[in-house]
Structure 1
Amino acid sequence: MQLALLALGAVSIFFAAVPELDLFMSGLFWDPADGFLFSQNSSLLLLRDANRPLPWIVISLLLILLIAPRLHDLRLGVPAPHRLLFVVIFFALGPGLIVHVMKILVGRARPRDIEQFGGTGIFTPPWDLSDQCVRNCSFISGEASSAFALLTLVVLLPLSYRRIYLIVVGIIAAAFSFNRVVFGAHFFSDVVFAWSVMTVVALVLWRWMSFNAQWIDGLFLRREQPSRSQEGA
């Protein structure tokens, strides 16, 4: 977790020192005559639309497994409840609550809304509090956060499958995320910070869930939980 915090700090320092990188990256996909050229590309729109329902599908399936404890008795290989609950809570806390609070607090205008790309808003670096956006703002990217959240499903898999899952889903999640930059919907830093912040949130939450795994599993599986005296014996 310390490394994740250091990485977040390093990214913050980097973009504070070179805020122009955001304008450069967005400018690669913008044309003065046609705006953001790929924003109406059917393939990229399909990629965007594929990402949007995924959180609801994942949460629905995991909730079914959580409220059906008898599935564990059938030896179907259902992951432990604390692992299922970790993913559900992360989706709600990270891409849900934290992202929306940050959007409201920072108030950063999206690339397509600022003067440099045909809008009227003023460009502001990441973390700078501004009044350039009232709702559904740019910093940080909600869809990039949701795409990152797919990586947390790795805790549900056997160890032998985790590396390949992270590689394959990591590439897909990166495509979902960077697609928002191509559309002019987010700055590059919105995506980078989304992944950095979500990494910290995931590690903190997983540490807590792991520490309380026995109690959580006992609660959902209706098993007798050990007393404090037994736990320390």
Structure 2
Amino acid sequence: MPLSPHARPLVLCLAAIVVVAAVFALFPGLDPAVSGWTHFPERGGFSYDAEPAAQRLRNLLRGAMNATFALCLVGALMGAAGRRLWAVPGRVYEWALLVFALGPGLIVDVLLKSYWGRARPADVTIFGGEARYSPFWLPTDQCADNCSFVSGEGAGAAASALALAAILRAAPVADRRPALVVIWGLAGLTGAMRVAMGRHFVSDVVLSFLIVAAIGAALRLIPRYRYVRP
């Protein structure tokens, strides 16, 4: 039976998750190897985490995520009142809020980060910490709360990028391509910074992006959100 066009994005996201998981399973040394690129023992470890400029940039990116969520909330409320923010239908903002709630909120922060138990790179013995390194697919007890798998800020960046992309696509914009490049570039920068700072392994970030993308694609199977296009 041919695949429905509406189901294709979800299938592609799930396939990407399987492929990425297989790569990290086949090459278990990939995570610590990438983290090792920014670990400098002579500087005290993951020195970027202590850089004031890096922290200011991180705070700026987090502020952008919060602003995106607030924008979506305002747009959804205006849609419920029969008005449009930037000529964008309210259902686009509703979809974005659901992506935030189910992705960074429920799946990432409430479930995975709280119960998976993967220690952050800076905390494992490989990089001078006390916790045992564990691959992403193995639930463990090396972290009690707010753990490494998956990346909360990575998920937030992905949700923000999807939301802004959907808003831009629905808005009367002549050329949205430059804005999309900036949006996805900042999302990628957010994830890269978390790896460079020793707060997440690269698999935490990549899978957080894909999980949020899969949630967004699954929500588009609901008739109300079928024509939302990130």
Same fold (TM over 0.5): yes
Match of 1:23 among 2, 16, 32: 32
Q: How does 1:17-166 map to 2 (within 5 A)?
A: 17-33=26-42, 34-69=44-79, 77-100=86-109, 101-152=111-162, 153-158=164-169, 160-166=174-180
Q: Deviation string for 1:145-172 (max 9, x for gaps)?
A: 1111122221112465443332221111
Give the corresponding residue for 2:3: none
| Gap runs ≥5 in structure 2 | 1-9
Match status 1:175 vs 2:189: yes
Stretches of structure 1 that go unaligned for 5 or more consecutive residues are 215-233
Indicate if the aligned counterparts of 1:55 and 1:146 stay in contact, CA closer than 8 A. yes
Q: Which has the larger Rg?
A: 1
Q: Give distance in 1, aligned partners of 2:125 and 2:146.
A: 18
Residues in 2 aligned to 1:161 and 1:146: alpha-carbon distance in whole angstroms: 25
Deviations 1:95-143 (A, max 9, x none): 1111021112321000010001111100011121100011000000000
In structure 2, distance between residues paired with 1:95 and 1:146: 6
Query: How big is each residue's C-alpha offset from its partner over 1:6-39, in whole Å with a ceiling of 9 and x where there is no partner?
Result: 1110001110111211111111111223111211
How many residues are matched?
A: 211
Change (3 A) 1:151 1:81: same
- What is the letter of the counterpart of residue 194 of structure 1? S
Listed one character per residue, the Cα deviations across residues 62-114 of structure 1 (whole Å, up to 9, x for unaligned) are 222322349855x7643111101011111111111110211123210000100
**What's the counterpart of residue 212 of structure 1?**
224
TM-score (norm 2): 0.84
The worse-fitting range, judged by mean Cα deviation, of 58-67 and 179-188 is 58-67
Length-normalised TM-score, structure 1: 0.83
2: CA distance, partners of 1:156 / 1:49: 24
Q: Does the aligned pair in 2 maintain the 1:72–1:78 contact within 8 Å?
A: no
Contact 1:65 1:71 in 2 (8 A): no
CA-atom RMSD, angstroms? 2.0
C-alpha change, 1:24 and 1:69, in structure 2 (3 Å) is closer
Cα separation, partners in 2 of 1:8 and 1:81, compared to 1, 3 Å: same
- Deviation larger for 84-93 or 148-157: 148-157
| CA distance in 2 between partners of 1:115 and 1:77 (Å) | 51
Distance 1:147 1:121 in 2: 27
Percent identical pairs in the alignment equals: 34
- Alpha-carbon distance between aligned partners in 1 of 2:47 and 2:16, rounded to the nearest angstrom: 32
